[in-house]
Amino acid sequence: MAELAGLVQRLEVAVGRLEAMSSSGGGGSPAAGSGPVSAYVEAYDSLISGPVAQYAAISQKIGGDVQKHAEMMKQAFSCQRQLLVTASRSQKPADSALAPLLAPVSKVIQEVQAFREKNRSSPHFNHLSAVSESVPALGWVAMAPKPGPYVKDMQDAAMFYTNRVLKDYKEKDKTHVDWVNAYVSIWAELQTYIKQHHTTGLSWSKTGPVASASGGGGPCGGAPPPPGPPPPPMDFDKSSGGESGGAINRNALFASLNKGADITKGLKHVSDDQKTHKNPALKANTGPVPAGPKPVAARPTAAASPARTLPPVLELDGKKWKVENQEGAQGLVIKDTELKQVVYAFKCNNSTLKVQGKINSITVDNCKKMGLVFDDVVGIVEMINCRDVKIQVMGKVPTISINKTDGCHVYLSKDSLACEIISAKSSEMNVLVPNKDGEYTEIPVPEQFKTVWDGSKLVTTATEIAG
């Protein structure tokens, strides 16, 4: 069944290529998909019709969330193919114009990751996590000069979850084992493809017009539709009383206001014997005051100021690497580091950061859904005011501090098992320790403690239900 579905997928790709080659190129943009495609686009089509199609076919066999995720991944590869067609027929634009071209692929990557977050209760959560952790590999088109190693790093990020799938199903259902092999082969083939056609980065055409996002075609490359017409002005005369009634009420109000000081002439004079504060006997006859809510005086409120969007920062300032305000930035890399330097990441969301080499310390402050991978740290790695962060140690680190953080996964290497982990005011902390077979054992960090007085001092121990 899987082989048949893969064959159908290959036929669909072949038919699409024939249609593209037979269609006319007049009046179309370079990215519109008309005319023959370049050699490296044909090679990418082989990747789609091969490993990607096999992965999609097995995912369809498994069904459920795995199949839905595979459909999203097919869309991601389709978007990237459209970008490759554009690059093969256009010259590279300025960096400021490159982001809109990369936006469709980036959007699908975020959708794939969001699907995993929305389906944490799925019985196939490990499958979804493997895809979600490695899909940023499609960002290789923005990586230079080593896009191939970047894909390898993202493939390694999925290994923890693919190993879990193998562990759960290798004795139960061979389909899931085939699924892992098919999925992993996608990234292996992509590395080979990049090595052959895009060794130092995405290859752009030397001729043709400069690439433009507005000139793109296909399901992923088109420009956004123009905004619709503004809404009609509000007609204040059309109140609940109808058009004529609203006009009459408004005219009557203006007529009353135009009386000026004469507006009080219609008021009735109240004599002293009718005033309650001068005639206490009237208070006894007033009866109970009807209950009801007191009118609330409207307070003038200042207009809500728009949220400030600060520009992203990735720079070396003296001895400090500053990584700030990154949103959905997959594959941030800091290299050429020195021992005296430190890294400070602040307000970065849905992003990943890799620090290469040996460095003094790393601080991650006020970040959400942040992934951090580093080689060696001689000082300390700190997580402060964070939420849903993941840390992976490739080399050594003496101390990891987790403070005011909810949701933190620490992946230790074999060389970093002796590190100290200090936590305070944090929850959902897990340390993952490597086994001899390459898999990880997940161990929760205690969050609940018991303190007793032993006669001379307080003794605090973790409770048995701390995890």
Q: Residue 116 contacts by C-beta under 8 Å, 6 or more apart in sequence?
A: 69, 125, 128, 129, 131, 132
pLDDT at 28: 35
Q: Which helix (H) or strand (E) holds 324?
A: strand 320-324
Give which of 427, 372, 379 is closest to 403, Cα–Cα: 427
Listed ranges 218-232, 412-426, 436-450; the one with the highest mean pLDDT: 412-426
Q: Are 320 and 342 in contact (CB under 8 A)?
A: yes
Q: Residue 197 contacts by C-beta under 8 Å, 6 or more apart in sequence?
A: 39, 40, 43, 203
pLDDT at 140: 93
pLDDT at 225: 39
pLDDT at 36: 72
| pTM: predicted TM-score of the whole model, two decimal places | 0.47
Higher pLDDT, residue 30 or 105: 105
Q: Are 77 and 9 in contact (CB under 8 A)?
A: no
**3-class DSSP assignment, residue 362:** strand
Q: Give the mean model confidence (pLDDT) for residues 409-424.
A: 93
DSSP string covering 107-132 = HHHHHHHHHHHHTTT-TTHHHHHHHH
Q: Could you give the C-alpha distances from 192 to 77, 188, 197, in angstroms and in order?
A: 16, 7, 9
Kindly tell me the sign of the dihedral angle through the C-alpha atoms of 39, 52, 211, 148. Answer: negative
> How far is Cα 401 from Cα 361, in angstroms, rounded to an integer?
11
The contacts found for 417-424 with CB under 8 angstroms, 24 or more apart, are: 419/393, 421/445
Q: Which helix (H) or strand (E) holds 407?
A: strand 406-411
Radius of gyration of the chain (CA): 32
pLDDT-based confidence at residue 63 (cuts at 50, 70, 90): very high
Q: Residue 293 contacts by C-beta under 8 Å, 6 or more apart in sequence?
A: none
Q: Are 179 and 51 in contact (CB under 8 A)?
A: no
Adjacency order of strands within the sheet including 368-377: 332-334, 349-359, 368-377, 387-393, 406-411, 427-434, 440-444
Higher pLDDT, residue 389 or 275: 389
- pLDDT tens-digit series, residues 243-260: 445 555 555 655 555 555
Listed ranges 4-18, 144-158, 180-194, 283-297; the one with the highest mean pLDDT: 180-194
